[in-house]
Structure 1
């Protein structure tokens, strides 16, 4: 079994970037045409250098990027931005006024600390309206100004990530430390890694690490020129485009929205067959379905088997954990769905949550391919966070414990 997270250190411009890569027990992400990874180039603010020489250079290589614009800045060169649209680049929303923290003196009169969610909503919609009026396209993607995702201050602080999730296909951050995991990432919080003021040789380790882990590298910059602060160098872009266009490197380079739609389609097609650990919550009826897809397999030989949507483990050191978020405390009947052959049946298991324990013996289900469901006991769970763990009840040297598909928690009295 691969470790859930591996850490690759990339020394870039005398700095060490830690690139965390998920290695869950899932098939390799199916990028189009057998590609190894995706790259999206993105540029913020509608800088004057973006249409030319920026987009003009990208057009030489047939590479399309995403430009996150502030309408007032874009309005200074409408013909240039019309060219950007006409040549196939994506226009994204970067807010109406580029609000950032008032800690930046230049943003004091548009400080996020003075915003409310409703004010942000109105301005995001107004920015989309302005872009559509000026260029005839309506943005579907967003980039957080300054990479900041909150409004308000102190105890009135609120995230506006849910608002971006509602209004846009994706939201991109800034100066993040890792590429996007296409299986796991929150589309409203895509990681954006800085490419300003870097050579291609400094960017290349990020590309190679993302390719090794079949990830999506979203690069973020501002100006597109030969020199200057907050500038993505044209020399770097030329080398990157040539590298990405070489079929031997297995790179799909496309705008953020194009890749986001593709990832969403693949996720939907593979739903129910991926192990993406996450917190579980009750359904409207109050029951809680703890599927193997959302469990964390921990141990030397635990296996998530997508063909069965189940965990199987082969040593007593293996276990499966689920995290729960409950709105209120309650007592639940616990039902287990499992399979095991007659030969391997009979080993004890333990289910624990806090100081509570349910002990049982894995009974025969008929075969490894035949799943059964039975009640194994009760648990009293607290409001807020709970963790449930299933493990072997004793050491064993040969064979297997069981294949565990799901736990179902049914409120007592329902």
Structure 2
């Protein structure tokens, strides 16, 4: 029978303890579950109130809705947004005017008035803060997250969100990828933009997050229509049913709650070598 030297055994034990500690810390960050899933919906459109929120409410799941302050749907349906917030959905900040960098390729939809490349940093910051005032008037909350319009981070090479860090718990970007808690950049959280993918595709992403014990953020626009970027109602329903059926293993919560948990969790200890 082969013998194992004490030094080798000690190293093996240290690696096992370190790995277990890392797994326990990760589980604690995800509310003692395998992974965290955040459902985000951009642009404050009718489909949010007509399709997405009723679907979430039907299975008692909560999402994050990034509102454009100047959206007519915010003004016309403000009481409905307020009721959604009262039921636990987050009303996130998607800027007052949704400015995007019109100097980039494929940005023909950007108007001169809402061209981020023509903004000053102070204007961008002021408009985002003005939208926070509006959102606070709707839901009475001060803790919330931000979503970069079009995923644009800079004005003239300057990251305008740097001045907004005290105003938000975190900010969501548009770069896809699953991340452990220690990998998450709270100034630019990864997300998967969904446009036409099947329910099986959405569920497979969740399964990957479960296996890797990571954060998965979905970025939806239209649900069952209402936007050029859209997810089919059936596919969206399949995803919600899977999440509900596995809620003992998957933490589904608004972005602000997940980001706050990441901020408050101690860094995971790396496995010893």
- 2:230 & 2:62 partners in 1: Cα distance? 18
Structure-1-length-normalised TM-score:
0.55
- The yes-or-no answer on 1:242 pairing with 2:241 is yes
The change in CA–CA distance for 1:33 and 1:264 in structure 2 (over 3 A counts) is closer
The change in CA–CA distance for 1:116 and 1:197 in structure 2 (over 3 A counts) is same
- The yes-or-no answer on 1:216 pairing with 2:215 is yes
1:105 aligned partner: 108
Structure 1 residue 233: Cα displacement: 2.5
- The yes-or-no answer on 1:151 pairing with 2:158 is no
SS across alignment from 2:184: coil
- 2:143 & 2:218 partners in 1: Cα distance? 19
Gaps of 5+ in 1: 1-23, 276-303, 306-311, 313-414
Which one has more relative contact order, counting CA pairs under 8 Å at least 6 apart? Answer: 2
Structure 1 residue 124: Cα displacement: 1.1
- 1:136 & 1:63 partners in 2: Cα distance? 21
The higher radius of gyration belongs to: 1
**Could you say which structure has the higher helix fraction?**
2
- The yes-or-no answer on 1:45 pairing with 2:49 is no
> Out of 35, 43, 46, which is 2:33 matched to?
35
Is the 2:221–2:227 Cα contact (8 Å) retained in structure 1?
no
Structure 1 residue 251: Cα displacement: 1.0
- 2:138 & 2:98 partners in 1: Cα distance? 18
- 1:139 & 1:54 partners in 2: Cα distance? 23
**Could you say which structure has the higher strand fraction?**
1
> 239-248 vs 63-72, which deviates more?
239-248
- The yes-or-no answer on 1:120 pairing with 2:117 is no
Is the 2:143–2:169 Cα contact (8 Å) retained in structure 1?
no
Gaps of 5+ in 2: 1-17
2:13 aligned partner: none
Structure 1 residue 116: Cα displacement: 2.3
SS across alignment from 1:38: strand
**For this pair of structures, how many residues does the alignment match?**
246
Is the 2:145–2:256 Cα contact (8 Å) retained in structure 1?
yes
2:54 aligned partner: 56
Moved segments of 4+, more than 3 Å: 31-34, 134-139
- 1:234 & 1:138 partners in 2: Cα distance? 32
- 1:204 & 1:92 partners in 2: Cα distance? 25
- 1:184 & 1:33 partners in 2: Cα distance? 17
Structure 1 residue 187: Cα displacement: 0.6
SS across alignment from 2:45: coil
Structure 1 residue 249: Cα displacement: 7.1
Is the 1:37–1:251 Cα contact (8 Å) retained in structure 2?
yes
Structure-2-length-normalised TM-score:
0.82
Structure 1 residue 232: Cα displacement: 2.7
Is the 1:38–1:251 Cα contact (8 Å) retained in structure 2?
yes
